[in-house]
Structure 1
Amino acid sequence: MRKILFFFFSGSVVLLLGLMTFSCNSLGCSGDATFSELPDTLNLLPLPTSTEMDVRKEVVYAPVFLDNGEKRPKGQRNSPLDQHDYRFANLDNVNWESASLKESDFRGVSMRTSHCNGADFSHSDFRFADLRWSSFSHATFSYSNMAQCMLFRSAMNDAIANNCDLRGCNLFGLKGHRTNFRSCDFSNALMKESELTESDFSHSKAIKVSFLISVFSGSRFDSTDFSYADFTGAGLEDASFVGARLWGVSFRGAHLQYASFRNADLRGCNFFGAEMAETDFTGACNIPEHLREVLVDGKATGTIFYNENAE
């Protein structure tokens, strides 16, 4: 009888430990409750340069009214006002420093090399707008629709752009130090060679986004869904990915010194050649085998190398 009880007890302990291990590596992600849906990689908006002209025209020419049902009056370059329609206006090199243009329509507008530091564009529509080489530092874009616009080599330092739609946006070379990008959707955007240090992307979504060799030192990506994004060669020193979902993300050659992945879901992540120093993976789940092997008290230090063909 004692032997039976002993084997029963031993088997129960083994089963419990197995379940705990399985839970930690597969199902125990604290972010499971944060993400109610699987990452959608099929219904993604393409970049503006990959969009058919007919689609662009349909978006730009579609009638859009104010919340009260009224039509926006035609906006003038020399008189920036809230709730106006600036479509088809020539706004290249415009100087709207500290202007208020809330709830305005900029769909398809050409606004290149503009000077809009400190301006307020909250709740505005910038779909397919060309905003290349412009300065929007200290500007406000909260709750704006900026899907498929072009912010190539523009500046958004210290800007407030929370709750924005930036899907399919060209953000190549964007400079946005200390910018608020909380609760935004960057899915399928291009953010290669950008500099966004000490910025806040918490609770945002960025499915299949290219962040190649961008710099995000000190930025926060807490509770984000960055599944299938590419951070190859990115500077992520002191960055925080606490509770993030990072399925299939590439961190190849990334600089992850003192970064935090606490409670993150690392299913299918690639850390080949990534540089780490006290990089924190405490509580993370689906940690790749090649990374688990080098963890000491939940942290990793050194450059990660392994046989990729064996993964």
Structure 2
Amino acid sequence: MGELSFADVEAARARIAGRVREVPVVRADDVVTETGSAEVFFALEFLQHTGTFKARGAQNFLLAHREAGTLTGAGVTIASGGNAGLACAWAARELGVPATVFLPANAPRVKVERLRGYGAEVRLVGAEYAEALAACTEFAATTGALASHAYDHPFIAAGAGTVVLEIHRQLPDLDAVVVAVGGGGLFAGVATAARHYGVRTIAVEPENCRALNAAVEAGHLVDVQLDSVAADSLGARRASDMALRAAQHESVRSVLVSDAEIVRARQSLWDEYRLAVEHAAGAALAGVLSPTGYTPNDGEKVCVVLCGANTNPVDLTA
């Protein structure tokens, strides 16, 4: 798979224009460092359709395939009970095509009902994700349905990267964008677009959920163990090749944060701004607040992408 290009992201922007919500960018509190202070902004991408950035990639994926004539009457299929599945089901409904989503039989009922609310046909197969994925793959092969992926596809990544074009329009003098990384779809798109504008990308991962960081260290893709409070949305065992390629540019810095720091940052977003977000969004903010994270220079403008809000807020204290 080739390296993602800025042209890919621009093409995605043209396709999905008017179909997704433009991200609001708001000023947050400054971060004080040893060298001075930096201006911090939040990109409120959790206000996107379905509650996460994944709506962008799902729209671009389906529209690009429709343009190419590879979106058949059998529609689209995906194995995911998380944000990717929701985005796929929503995008399919918006385009008027069928969506079939495969989940393990023990999937939470609330996820099943939400998928059905977007018009998807939900098929419960097996006790583990791997069994649902195998059934999804067989379904695509036998019906001709288009198989989608949660993050490892150039149309998915390019769609996600369009958020940077919207951020840059609002902050043309931005110095760095901070983004949480799971499998790397959002990161690959963001880093590709940011590099075009001369903006640094800070890739943030939990210490015990570090598929991209481990790949950068090894120089090739590796499987990692997953043990993090943010694993529900950042829990990819292996990053995408696109993400590794993007991370190998000098404009990218990879940082790790602890679960405790993620929890504190997420709680801070609630305490200070009344924003109830996923732990993944908390991880992005932790990437700036952590002593082992990214330390901006004096006067820098930094934008933290708050990527999603499909969370249970009951553990946020008043």
**What TM-score bracket applies, with the shorter chain setting the length?**
under 0.3
Of Structure 1 and Structure 2, the greater helix share is in 2
Greater RCO structure (CA 8 Å; 6+ sep) = 2
Of Structure 1 and Structure 2, the greater strand share is in 2
TM-score by length of 2: 0.25
Q: Point out the structure with max Rg over C-alpha.
A: 1
